[in-house]
Structure 1
Amino acid sequence: MITVEGKIEKKGFGFGTWALVTREGKTYELQDAPPELCQIGIWATVTGEILSNVMTTAMIGEVLAVKSYQLQG
């Protein structure tokens, strides 16, 4: 499990995919992100598991399976 903080963005073509981009510029593709987390431009702290055995069509970064999150105010 890891915990990362960053800004939520929608990336990719077509329907796109939800991502968390850290202040350092590292991008994580969010898997199983709840609707409350899927808002462009919000800051959040997300705890989850990196899925190293998953490949996606977006290929924007490591896949982070969301287990919990906290929105930043």
Structure 2
Amino acid sequence: MAHAFLGAFAKLIVNHPELVRVERVDVDETFAEIIIYADKSDTGKLIGKDGKMINSLKTVIAGYKAKNGMSYRITVKANDE
């Protein structure tokens, strides 16, 4: 559910929404990593000035921990294509 939210949000703020892809990797039963792949020119928009955008997203996603007990790490990567 958290990765679906991040995918939808990322597509709203980037210039190339068709290139956004989100993966969830479960590390163990209490921790998962969400990787947002975007065009190289859009990674700056997802991270934001001084990391403010990505930190805001991390704060929102931290609220999911209260619901399902899962901790998340969010990573933004540029597409290799």
Q: Shared fold (TM-score greater than 0.5)?
A: no
TM-score by structure 2 length?
A: 0.28
Normalized per residue, the structure richer in helix is: 2
TM-score (norm 1): 0.29
More strand by share: 1
User: Which structure would you say has the larger Rg?
Assistant: 2
